[in-house]
Each structure stands twice: as C-alpha cells, then as structure tokens.
Amino acid sequence: MYTDGWAAAQNAWLTIFPLITIIECFLYVFIKIRNRCQKRFEWVYADINHRAWNIYYAEDVATFQERVANLLHWTQQTITGAALEAIEKLCVKSDRSLIAFDYPNA
C-alpha cells in the first residue's frame, strides 16, 4: 500500500488491513520540495527536479542510497531555508523508501 507520510493515514490502513506493507509515496515528498523550491530557487529548480526524480528511478538500493547522498550534499551547497529543510527531510526519511525494492511490482 502506497500512502503519504502522515501517521494517522498509515495507522488507519494498518487498522483496517493489519497484514499490509506500507510504502510511503515519493510523490508527496516531491510535491513538498517543489512547493518550497519552484519560485524561490527558480534558477536551480530544474536541477532539483532532475536530481529528486533520479532517486525515484534508481534500479537498486545501492544506487538509491548513492543518489540520496549526492542530492543531500549538492543541496547543502546550493540552497537554504525551507527548501533545504524539505530536501533534508526526504534524505533523512529515505530509508523508509527502501522497502519498495522488495516489491518491484508495487
């Protein structure tokens, strides 16, 4: 089951279907990043967009983790404020996305 990172939504799904596996949806995280970066960091938004979606399309766990680390490093050198915080949050929570590799057809 794909869901957002909201604990209440995840708890509701687990209550109804206790045997499901929850995979947090990358799109929700990306939308938050987009909302914080698109206008304020317009000059670099295309790079942010590309780097974030490049993570999503990783073929395996090692590539996924490498791309997350690269995004975090690059972002810390490039942007500040709420946009940086949103990307750091994605990177900190990235381990939650690794479970998706156990379900390639999800």
pLDDT at 36: 86
- Rounded mean pLDDT, 68-75: 95
Contact 10, 3 (CB under 8 A): yes
Is the pLDDT assigned to residue 1 strictly greater than 70? Answer: no
In the chain, domain spans = 26-102
Report the pLDDT value the prediction gives residue 100, as an integer from 0 to 100: 87
Helix %, strand %, coil % for the chain, to 5? 70, 5, 25
Q: How far is Cα 99 from Cα 79, in angstroms, rounded to an integer?
A: 29
pLDDT tens-digit map of 9-24: 888 888 999 998 888 7
When pLDDT is cut at 50, 70 and 90, the band that residue 65 belongs to is: very high
The angle formed by the CA atoms of residues 49, 52 and 58, to the nearest 5 degrees, is 130
- pLDDT value at 84 more than 60: yes
Which has the higher per-residue pLDDT, 27 or 88? Answer: 88
- pLDDT: is 61 or 31 the higher one? 61
